[in-house]
Amino acid sequence: MKRLVTWFGNRWAARGSRGVKLGKGVWVHRSARLLTVNGGKITIGAGTLIDYGALLKADGGEIMIGANAYIGPLGVFYGTGRLVIGDDSGSGPQAVVVSSAHNFDDLDVRIQEQGEVLAGATIGREVWLAAHCTVLAGVTIGDQAVLGAGAVVTKDVPSRAIVGGVPARPIGHRGEPDAEGAAIKVTPPTV
């Protein structure tokens, strides 16, 4: 059964919205969709903005978004596995983050019938996902990293790294390197 929470005019319309928790001052555009299916959960921290046409779908899994985050227009964020987005992180238009991947090894069985790997995805604090960026399941993005427009991120990204391309690769670094080098630091979100 699908759970839908959306904004109409100046009031919330919630039909079977169990599993959705919104912090103080969360703003969800009237065309955005927060869906929980099969016991999925969505938690959004205070002050976060979900822009028009965005889809957050937790199908048996969990989506946790920290405080003061921003989900850009037409973004798609799947929480079949566990998807965590840190405080003050944001995404440009049409960013996609998935937390699971389909199995497809058996040629004698349809892909839809082979199940999924629930690998999760973690995005740290103050991360920017530029327009049309895609983050695949099993990836961890360190705090203060930047993912360039159109990047397809298939591997972990160190804190403060700038990555771009298909597949994404390092193209720069924000500020001075950490004493730990290319360590991945992820600060848990405030929810």
Per-residue pLDDT at 11 exceeds 80 = no
Per-residue pLDDT at 12 exceeds 60 = no
The pLDDT confidence band at residue 2, using thresholds 50, 70 and 90, is very low
Catalytic residue among 29, 102, 132, 173: 102
**Predicted TM-score (pTM) of this structure:** 0.84
Of residues 109, 64, 57, 106, the one with CA closest to residue 89: 64
Percent of the chain whose pLDDT exceeds 90: 68
Percent of the chain whose pLDDT exceeds 70: 84
How far is it, in rounded angstroms, from Cα 69 to Cα 49? 6
Active site residue 173: no
- The tens digit of pLDDT for each residue in 129-173 reads 999 999 999 999 999 999 999 999 999 999 999 999 999 999 999
- The tens digit of pLDDT for each residue in 74-122 reads 999 999 889 999 999 999 999 999 988 787 888 898 988 888 778 899 9
Domains and CATH numbers, the chain: 3-15+29-93+109-173 (2.160.10.10)
Q: Which two tokens stand for residue 62?
A: 């969990």
Residues of 42-75 as b/e, b for ≥16 C-beta within 10 angstroms? bbbbbbbbbbebbbbbbbbbbbbbbbbbbbbbbb
- The tens digit of pLDDT for each residue in 52-73 reads 999 999 999 999 999 999 999 9
How far is it, in rounded angstroms, from Cα 65 to Cα 40? 14
Q: Taking a C-beta distance cutoff of 8 angstroms, is the pair 147, 130 a contact?
A: yes
Mean pLDDT is lowest, of 11-20, 39-48, 89-98, 174-183, for: 11-20
3 state DSSP class of 113: helix
pLDDT value at residue 17: 62
Per-residue pLDDT at 10 exceeds 70 = no
Q: Which two tokens stand for residue 31?
A: 């065309």
- The tens digit of pLDDT for each residue in 167-183 reads 999 999 998 665 555 56
Is beta strand 3-8 parallel, antiparallel or unpaired with respect to 33-37?
antiparallel
Report the pLDDT averaged over residues 4-21: 55
